[in-house]
Amino acid sequence: MAKMRLLGSWMGVQAEGRGKQTSTDDLEAKKQRPPKWSLGILNDKETDEVPGSILLMSKVAERNEPLGLQHVQARTSSSSLPSPFPQLSRRSSQTSTYRVKQEKKKTPDGKIILEPQPDESPNDPLNWPAFRRDLALLSLGLYCMVGGGMTPILAAGFSNVASTYHISTARVSLTTGLYMMGLGIGSVVASPTAILFGKRPVYLVGSILFILSAVWCALSPNFPSLIVARIFQGIAVSPVECLPSATVAEIFFLHERAYRLGIYTLLLLGGKNLVPLVSAAIINSLGWRWVFWMVAIVVGLCGALLFLFVPETFWDRTPRPRRVVVRDPNDANVPESDVPIHSPIIPSPMSEPVTEQVASPPEPRSGFHSPVPQHIPPSPMDYTTYHRDAPPKTWTQTLRPYAGRLSKDNWFKVALRPFILFAYPSILWSAMVYSFSVGWLIVLSESVTVIYRSRDTYNFTALQAGLVYISPFIGGVLGTAVAGKVSDIIVRAMSRRNEGVYEPEFRLVMAIPITLACTGGLWMFGWSAQNKDSWIVPTLGFGLTSFGCSLGSTTAITFAVDCYRGYAGEALVTLNFSKNIFHGLVFSLFFTNWLESDGSKEVFLIVGGIQLACMLFTIPMYIYGKRCRMWTVRKNLMEKF
């Protein structure tokens, strides 16, 4: 009887202990569950591991273990939450693996964790000297400036082209719209080609086709020939819009990216303002055909810079599997392993020696017994692996136009991926903002001849109309400076308040100045032009719009790349296809006639209203953006395709 009482008492204690343990586990799970809000952003209900969310600031308390993207609270014991970290059993602790936590690489001052983490190889583009990376950016940026200016290159000379071919000015605007159609088509071709075969050959081939198309435009005997030449030119120029942002993402770290993307955007949009100014001077003195001869010469120089200073920047950053072999800890000769704590544990016979094996290229085999050359061309599957373990490339080796196939993906499937991204809310928002940011500048360029060269308004010459572009150029420079530096300052401040975690939605704060500048500038331009105010008033409105458009384009690109860096190439195609087809081509078909019939005041009040209404979608994007990103992960649309 006493034994029964003792057994009952013992079982009661055990039940009480289990109850306390369950209660403790539930409490621990609640503590580890992400908070509902983070600076106005709704967190995912189940996890903090969301694409784009990154631990940016290195001095963060209570975070000692990376859960994919390092976004869980510090823990010192097992957790009930699912985790990719293997939990050690008692047996495995007895035959322990000697694991040392890998330190994340940081900036020299130790304040910012480098993202993405560079490899140890000197061939990793992130390990190139800063001057080399900046020189590549500058060379590519100059080429993009010329390419970016090709859209409105004839804007100040529409009437000259009309008189040459004896057509209406409204019909000449098709040279802009159909050129943008070529840009859209070309981006769908250039992006998958670059993903499979590398960006460098696409840049080089594009520059050659660019020169040929410029010569074709200069020699066009009739208007249909000029139209076809402009479409072909758009296809040739398309790489400058869909690839450079991905190149920037490949050679610069996250904390450097916005500023460099700002430089690229400045040169791209600056070209849309500077090139028409220069072309106006050429049209005024030599005629519009000489504009394209000059373009061919300048593109030849830019092509030389691309060949010399823009090597292939591809680098596969997929985490490499490491194999850790378990060994008896009593062996005193076993050194501590430097395997990261998330490496899977693969048991092996206890008698085998302990080694850590990292994926490496297979040894080359030959049917002959002759020595194998030191430098073997990489196969399609191991480009990064080959160069990771190879000696540093010499400058002459980087001049190879073609580095081999980088992916075995089907070209047609890759070409269709940008259209799947329309189902991703973050990309859809970026596409909308980018389309308006670049599109309104093209719309204003098409308005220059109608408003400034008309005898009923300002009666400017081609040169005077071209000088109007000084205002949007200055606005674009200021906008890029603000978008790059101020955006980075805001992001770092908000990340610091968010326990060091960066969310791409922090970039959306820039929507406030974008909305004010673009909407106000468009209304100012149209209203003052119809009221025949001094020419400086609509010109200032043009500059204010350009300021807002520079903010918008930089923010849209940076937001898209930060949300889905793995799909940066496809995302840029999505953005540019939207801008060129849904905005550029569509507006060019009717905008000039609409402006001539209804007047600038009514037209630009409507245009500004469209800008204002669409920017209001930023509010739900900021609040629900993180959940939308996690929703795309669960749907996995890109990978399913």
Considering the domain boundaries, does residue 394 fall inside one? Answer: no
Least confident of 17-21, 108-112, 400-404: 17-21
Residue 74, pLDDT > 50, answer no
Does 112 map to a domain?
no
For residues 4 and 118, the model is more confident at 118
In a domain, 5, yes or no: no
Domain span at residue 610?
A: 125-316+413-635
Residue pLDDT, tens place only, 546-557: 999 989 988 998
Q: Residues 355, 361, 362, CA angle at the centre, nearest 5°?
A: 90
- Helix orientation angle between 536-563 and 254-285, rounded to the nearest 10 degrees: 140
How far apart CA 139 and CA 307 sit, in angstroms, is 9
Q: Report the C-alpha dihedral over residues 505, 509, 512, 514, rounded to 10 degrees.
A: -70
Considering the domain boundaries, does residue 189 fall inside one? yes
pLDDT score of 59: 53
Comparison of pLDDT for 340 and 159, the residue scoring more:
159
Residues 86-97: pLDDT tens digits?
A: 333 333 334 333
pLDDT of residue 366: 37
Q: Using pLDDT thresholds of 50, 70 and 90, give the confidence band for residue 330.
A: very low
Asked if the model's pLDDT at residue 145 lies above 70, the reply is: yes
How would you classify the pairing of strands 54-55 and 37-38?
unpaired
205-226 tens-digit pLDDT: 999 999 999 999 999 999 999 9
Contact (CB, 8 A) for 587 and 443: yes
Provide the pLDDT for residue 454.
81
In-domain check, residue 468: yes
Q: Residue 537 falls within a domain, yes or no? A: yes
Share of the chain above pLDDT 70, in %: 78
Q: Which residue has the higher pLDDT, 362 or 247?
A: 247
Question: What band does 601 get if pLDDT is binned at 50, 70 and 90?
Answer: very high
Q: In total, how many domains does the chain have?
A: 1
Query: For residue 630, is pLDDT > 50?
Result: yes
What pLDDT score was predicted for residue 93? 39
Quote the tokens at residue 79: 């957790």
Give the lowest-confidence range in 9-18, 352-361, 466-475, 501-510.
Answer: 352-361
Q: Give the dihedral of Cα atoms 207, 211, 213, 219; nearest 10 deg.
A: 180
The closest of 526, 383, 356, 391 to 451, measured between CA atoms, is: 526
**Residue 178's domain is classified under what CATH number?**
1.20.1250.20
Tell me, rounded to whole angstroms, the distance of Cα 52 from its chain centroid: 12
Mean pLDDT confidence for 470-489 = 85
User: What pLDDT was estimated at residue 592?
Assistant: 82
3-state secondary structure of 562: helix
pLDDT at 77 over 50: no
Strands 501-502 and 356-358: unpaired
pLDDT reported for residue 420:
93
Q: For residue 229, tell me if it sits in a domain.
A: yes
Any domain includes 445: yes
